[in-house]
Amino acid sequence: MVEAVTPPSRGFGAAGAQFEMRHVRKAFGGTVALDGVDLAVRGGEVCALVGQNGAGKSTLMSILAGAITPDGGTMTLNGSPYAPRDPREARQAGVAMIYQELSLAPHLSVMDNIALGVEPRRGAFGALGIVHRDTVRRSARAALEQLAQPDIPLDAPVGELSPAVQQLVEIARALAFGCRVLVLDEPTSSLAHGDARKLFDLIGTLKKQGLAIVYISHFIEEVTQVSDRFVVLRDGRNAGQGTTTVASRDEIVRLMVGRELEDLYPRGPRAIGDPLLTLDGLEARRLSAASFTLHRGEILGIAGLLGAGRTRLLRGLFGLDAVTRGSVKLGPHAGPRSPADWWRHGMGMLSEDRTSEGLATKLNIADNMTITRLEGPARGFFVSPSRQRQSARAWMARLDIRATSPTQEVSRLSGGNQQKIALARLLHHDVDVLVLDEPTRGIDVGSKAQIYKLIGELVSRDRKAVLIVSSYFPELLALCDRIAVMSRGRLGEARPASEWTEHTLVLEASR
């Protein structure tokens, strides 16, 4: 149990700290997530918390936000002892965490979501009293005005709003609790470029209001833009810290991975072969006729901004969404067909939403890896768990998946390890065409380097074909042989990657 004490006069950023955590420890079974971590952030400061997946960032912040009970260590808030028993108690103390997956009630209105948990009531029965609707409206409007967002409609159902506006509503909800410490966990993972810039401006506003802000991100470019200081965790320990304006990107990455990252985008020899996947005039709701050809030994990238229709295109070609016209041809097999058909004929898809669609998070690693092809571990009509585990161990070793065993539940792993498991399923199935929707979203730079290397090997050595959608244009430019840009549901012509720059991709995607 955490022990609350008075803050020391000296320590890891302790002077004038809004909150301080010292020697925090946490283990989950035999896995040590935090091994004596220190962190302190001042009011009016943005501190970036960075590290690879599994470094302990989210665990540390979940302890601060009252969602996880630590095994040891000390915490103070505004110089006073702090040991929240749950997230509600943490919020009442002024500490709020906005998770990557927002925790809003989509069927409720904006103002009801903002007031959720702190509804003003009248009557003699306390929490059972009648909610004072006028007060709810006034407090919700005040929270949105504090964010300089008075135009967000208070009566609109949250589920009908864009991801960017939903995020603002969750931040407003934190402010309605009297938030003084705000933790943002991968806040731009579902935002378009323009919305991300607006978020950075908002963070600047909250910083001027004196909030202590912790910013968790895998994008080093964002860290250098938005933070004053950075703290690096590696393997559950403090690996270093520094002033953002002084440190270089390479120095931060070196602290994260514990070594120099010589080549983030390794590229082997490419030999483009025969056509393998052909899309001819595919149309669907909010998707104009799309056509392209993907060859064996090739990586074809689709660039575009959020909402451009890239995911709709992939879901249509893979049979997840209905199409109104057009055809898909995979070798000698023509479609549209169901996802099961495409898996059987040698095409697999990695979803951008790994927690809701890409993985069965309550199942273990071995089940997730082998679920689409049980011929390997199966004997007759029965599945051999030992052969499942044997196959899973081989992929865990190749992809450097960090887990206690193949029987570990997927929900207990970091985002980067979960993404590798989803990718391992395609490798276990031995598909010829890999359809990858945002394969590196929400994972750290070290895991990205491993995935880039693997994709390169699949194309250069194993002669696979890869269709990749990404919002991160530098990785498309580095990985792909050709790139097509999607804008407003229309797919442009694929051109050699050497003919594009990040600037021209953004211009084309913004049309």
* 307/43: higher pLDDT: 43
Sign of the torsion angle spanned by Cα atoms 103, 104, 105, 111? positive
Look at residue 118 in the predicted model and tell me its pLDDT.
Answer: 63
pLDDT, residue 494, reads 95
Residue 230 has pLDDT above 60, yes or no: yes
Q: pLDDT, tens digit, for every residue of 167-201?
A: 889 888 888 888 999 999 888 877 777 788 888 99
The mean per-residue pLDDT over the stretch 215-238 comes to 90
Handedness of CA 120, 122, 128, 133 (dihedral sign): negative
pLDDT, average across residues 434-459: 85
User: Please, what are the domains in the chain?
Assistant: 1-94+180-187+209-260 (3.40.50.300), 96-179 (3.40.50.300), 274-346+432-511 (3.40.50.300), 359-430 (no CATH)
Q: What's the rounded Cα separation, in Å, for the pair 189 and 353?
A: 11
Please give the pLDDT value at position 13. 47
**pLDDT higher for 15 or 439?**
439
Strands (E), 229-372: 229-234, 237-243, 275-284, 287-295, 299-303, 325-330, 333-334, 347-350
pLDDT at residue 47 is higher than 90: yes
Contacts of 185 (CB under 8 A, 6+ apart): 58, 61, 97, 98, 99, 100, 216
Look at residue 237 and tell me whether its pLDDT is greater than 60: yes
Q: Which is higher by pLDDT, 473 or 53?
A: 473
Residue 217 has pLDDT above 80, yes or no: yes
- The confidence score (pLDDT) of residue 415 equals 76
Which is more confidently placed, 144 or 134? 144
pLDDT band at 12, cuts 50/70/90?
very low
State residue 249's pLDDT score: 81
Summarize pLDDT for 291-312 with one digit per residue, the tens: 999 999 999 999 987 778 898 9
The predicted-structure confidence for 117-142, as pLDDT tens digits, reads as follows 666 555 444 444 565 677 888 888 88
Q: What percent of the chain has pLDDT over 90?
A: 43
For the cut 60, the answer to whether the pLDDT of residue 403 exceeds it is yes
Q: What average pLDDT does this structure show over 415-441? A: 89
What pLDDT score does 376 carry?
A: 56
Give the Cα separation of 344 and 98 in Å (integer).
40
Q: How confident is the model at residue 219 (pLDDT cuts 50, 70, 90)?
A: confident
pLDDT of residue 347: 95
Among candidate residues 19, 90, 69, 101, the one with its CA nearest the CA of residue 441: 101
Termini Cα distance of the chain = 55
Q: Across residues 36-44, what is the average pLDDT?
A: 95
What pLDDT sits at residue 2? 42
Reported confidence tier of residue 45, pLDDT bands at 50, 70, 90: very high
Q: Could you tell me which residues are beta bridge partners of residue 47? A: 214, 229
Q: What is the mean pLDDT of residues 247-268?
A: 76
- Mean of pLDDT over the chain: 85
Q: What is the DSSP string of 69-104?
A: --SEEEEEETTEE---SSHHHHHHHTEEEE-SS---
What is the model's pLDDT at position 11?
36
Give per-residue pLDDT as tens, 327-382: 999 989 987 789 999 999 999 999 888 877 889 989 999 999 998 887 556 556 67
Please report the pLDDT score of residue 131 as a whole number. 59
Q: What is the pLDDT of residues 193-216, one digit of tens each?
A: 778 888 899 999 999 999 999 999
